Copies of this chain bind each other. A is one copy, B any other.
C-alpha cells in the first residue's frame, strides 16, 4: 500500500507528515502558517510543504497517494472549502482548500476541521484505539471536541459539530453575571474552562498579574511545591482559578457523557497535560455528573500529542 500525507493546518503553524498505512508518521515538517497572507498564499506554502515531503518519501522508496488535511476553521468536508474562520487566519474563509491543493499537487485531497482530525487520530491509534465510539474533548487556548462514531468524526450538518465549549456552565459566572464567551454569547464552558479563562479567573480572584502573567504562570503558582512557601493572595487565587476551571471542565465532560454515551472519553489539550492539580478536580467533577450505567466509562488522557491531527487527517485518505 502507498503512503499518504497528513496535514495539521493551525492558526500559527502548519505541520505535515508522511504517514504509513498503519498510521506511523515516518517524517514530518512544520512551517509557520501565513496567517496574514490570505488563502492563496497559505495554499502555495502548504503545497510546497507537502511537495517537499512527497519528494522525501520518494527518496525513501514510498509513493504518496493522497493528502488529508485537518484545518482550523469550519471546513465543509463535502465541498472541500473553508466555510468560516476566525481572524487568526486572515481571509481563510471562502478558500477552496481541497480544490486548491489538489490542483497544485495533482493528488487527491480530503479535508476536515483540525479538531475533527485530532479526534479521529486519537480514535484510530491513540487513547481510544479499538473503541467503537469515543468523545475527545480538548482544553487549551479554546475548548473543542469531537464525537467519533464507527471510525468517523460526527461532523455536523453544517460541519460545526463538536463545539463542546459553547454550552452553558453554572461555573461561568462572576458576581451573578455570566462571563462573556469568545463566541459572542455568555456563560459558556469555554469562558471559564479554557487556558486563558483560568488566567482571567485568577485576576478576578485577586491574583496579581506581576505574579502570573499568563496561564502557565497561574499553574506554576498553584503547583503543590510552590505552596511550601507562604500563601499569598496570588497563590490562593491561582489554586482557586485552576480548581474552578478544572471543575467546570469536568462537569461539562460528565454532562456530555450522559448525552453521548461514548465507549471511551479522551481528554486532551494543554490543560490535560498540566498534571494532577487540574486532572484530579476535573475527574471528580466529571464522575459526579454521571448516570449510574455510565459510572465505569474510561476517561483517559490523549496519547498522540501533536501528531494526533496529522494521523487523523491521514486516515481520511487511507480508508
Seen from chain A, the residues whose Cβ lies within 8 Å of a Cβ on chain B are 74, 83-84, 131-133, 149, 154-164, 166-170, 172-173, 178, 183-185, 187-188, 251-252, 254-256, 258-263, 288-294
A251 cross-chain contacts in B, Cβ below 8 A: 168
Copies in the complex: 2
Docked CA distance A155–B262 (Å): 10
In the complex, A84 Cα to B294 Cα: how many Å? 12
Known contacts A158-B261, A160-B258, A261-B157, A293 near B84 by CB under 8 Å: yes
Q: Which of B163, B178, B289 contacts A291 (CB 8 A)?
A: B163
Q: Do A261 and B168 touch across chains, with their CB atoms under 8 A apart?
A: no
Residues in B whose Cβ lies below 8 Å from that of A252: 167-168
- A188, B290: Cα distance in complex, Å: 11
- Is the CB–CB distance between A260 and B133 below 8 Å? no
The one of B157, B164, B255, B288 in contact with A133, judged by C-beta atoms closer than 8 angstroms, is: B157
Q: Could you tell me if B294 and A160 are in contact, using CB atoms closer than 8 angstroms?
A: yes
Q: Could you say which residues of chain B place their CB within 8 Å of the CB of A172?
A: 170
A256 touches B157 (CB 8 A): no
Residues of B within 8 A of A294 (CB): 158, 160
Tell me which residues across on chain B come within 8 A of A132, comparing CB atoms: 157
Question: Are A158 and B293 touching (Cβ within 8 A)?
Answer: yes
CB–CB A160/B291 < 8 A: yes
Q: Cβ of A289 and Cβ of B255 under 8 Å apart? A: no
| Minimum CB distance partner of A131 in chain B | B157
Check if A169 sits within 8 Å of B170, measured CB to CB.
yes
A257 to chain B, nearest CB (A): 9
With known contacts A74-B293, A293-B83, A157–B262 Cβ distance under 8 A? yes
**B contact residues around A168 at 8 Å (CB):** 168-170, 251-252, 255, 289
Q: A160-B293, A167-B256, A168-B169 are known; give 9 further A-B pairs, CB within 8 A.
A: A156-B261, A157-B261, A157-B263, A162-B259, A163-B259, A166-B255, A166-B259, A170-B187, A185-B288
Chain B residues, Cβ within 8 Å of A254: 167
By the criterion CB–CB under 8 Å, are B167 and A258 in contact? Answer: yes
Q: How far is the CB of A133 from chain B (nearest CB, A)?
A: 5
